[in-house]
Structure 1
């Protein structure tokens, strides 16, 4: 139990409740991206297939169409970097938590992929999912995916919620604190089980123009920036 966090939450609870309700009321509700959730860059049979799963970032909230979103932009960056044909597919649900995603994926047909990137954490942060449960759900997800996708599951760092301009202070700082706790679960799993998990981080978006109009999700420039940071890594060697 992370006692300082929970004591702070309890002390600030009335303020946090008020700010949370006001943020939900005042923050614009952006739709999921439209268009084809898959595609490829380059000609012929793909040399590498990328699958992104998760919450609103996988669903492309913050941009109009999926080709502007994370999976497409990452595939484009990898194609430009290697000149190889890169296929991409994205599956995301706005507002979903990890346990719900696990149940959803059990009934969802997914394409073949050489690498799976998980983009989660915001809804589990705001929903105060216990860290032990978050860890257990990650292990369950990996177990379910492993027979079909043997490469390590790529864990995209939990977004830095202390930078979300849609959230007022101190709610923003507390959510950032909680997000870092869940992000630590990612890092611990990647360290303890490198054959099953790889941790992927990207520089915190300090430029507000990287966010969408809701001040909460990445905009087109934000997804492009995240993709550029990830493409600098060793994704194609996994």
Structure 2
């Protein structure tokens, strides 16, 4: 099972002090426990926006399952939702054309980040939801699968500071375990489809 992670710093594992506590190794371990032999390739780049996915996709070899985590940097740089969603659509479509199953974790709710002033949290939350919704529609149109990670992890991250790294923006090892647990059912489902 050739598993590839693409996207931004969360897909790359920024914030964790140990590689094995990042998304790629955690998801690979879950697939191994389900009986898959896994070859992991992490192409994600810290700071990446949806516009950077094209280069990441081009850099991949043969892939069975691709996991994309993208959107936070688009939000912080005010990329219009339809622009970023189209760029994500194209990346998913290109991966599907290569024969890969694609699972996408859309933009997180940035209102829970401590750097966001309380007076702006409602606005930031609404913008995050709008961006994620545009991404979801684009992913489905391109033939990918949306893992609704934000629904599962946002309440936990909002109430548990230990899920954040020291920079109070990226996940800690514990935060990555939460995200991997939320991602795993969709990743395992598409991996099982490949095995049939």
> What band does the TM-score fall into relative to the shorter chain?
0.7 to 0.9
- Kept in 1: contact 2:15–2:165 (CA 8 A): yes
1:154–1:200 contact (8 Å) kept in structure 2: yes
Correspondence 1:89-128 to 2 at 5 A: 89-102=41-54, 104-105=55-56, 109-128=59-78
Q: Distance in 1 between matches of 2:121 and 2:14?
A: 20
Distance 2:64 2:25 in 1: 15
Q: Secondary structure in 1 aligned to 2:67?
A: strand
- Hey, what's the Cα distance between the residues in 2 that align with 1:169 and 1:57? 24
SS of alignment partner, residue 92 of structure 1? coil
CA contact (8 A) 2:84 2:135 kept: no
Out of 147, 154, 177, the position equivalent to 1:224 is 177
Cα 1:93–1:228 change in 2 (3 A) is same
Q: Does 1:140 align with 2:87?
A: no
Which residue in the other structure is 1:34 paired with?
Answer: none
Q: Answer yes or no: is 1:212 the counterpart of 2:165.
A: yes
Matches within 5 A, 1:174-189: 174-189=123-138
User: Per chain length, whose mean CA-contact separation is higher, i.e. which structure has more relative contact order (CA < 8 Å, sep 6+)?
Assistant: 2
**How much does 1:150 deviate?**
3.8
Structure 1 residue 90 displacement after superposition: 1.1
Q: TM-score, normalised by structure 2?
A: 0.83
Cα distance in structure 2, aligned partners of 1:143 and 1:157: 16
**Which of 114, 127, 148 does residue 165 from structure 1 map onto?**
114
- Higher normalized helix content (fraction of residues): 2
Which has the larger Rg? 1
Q: Tell me if structure 2 keeps the 8 A contact 1:166–1:214.
A: no
Aligned to 1:4: none
Across the aligned residues of Structure 1 and Structure 2, the Cα RMSD in angstroms comes to 2.1
Alpha carbons 2:92, 2:139 under 8 Å: kept: no
Q: Which runs of 4+ in 1 moved over 6 A?
A: none
Residue 144 of structure 2 is matched in structure 1 by 197
Structure 1: where are the runs of 5+ without partners? 1-47
Cα distance in 2 for partners of 1:171, 1:149 equals 42
Instruction: Give the Cα separation in 2 of the matches to 1:98 and 1:127.
Output: 11
Normalising by structure 1, what TM-score? 0.70
**DSSP 3-state at the match of 2:82:** helix
Deviations 1:171-201 (A, max 9, x none): 444332211111101222344x2x6121102
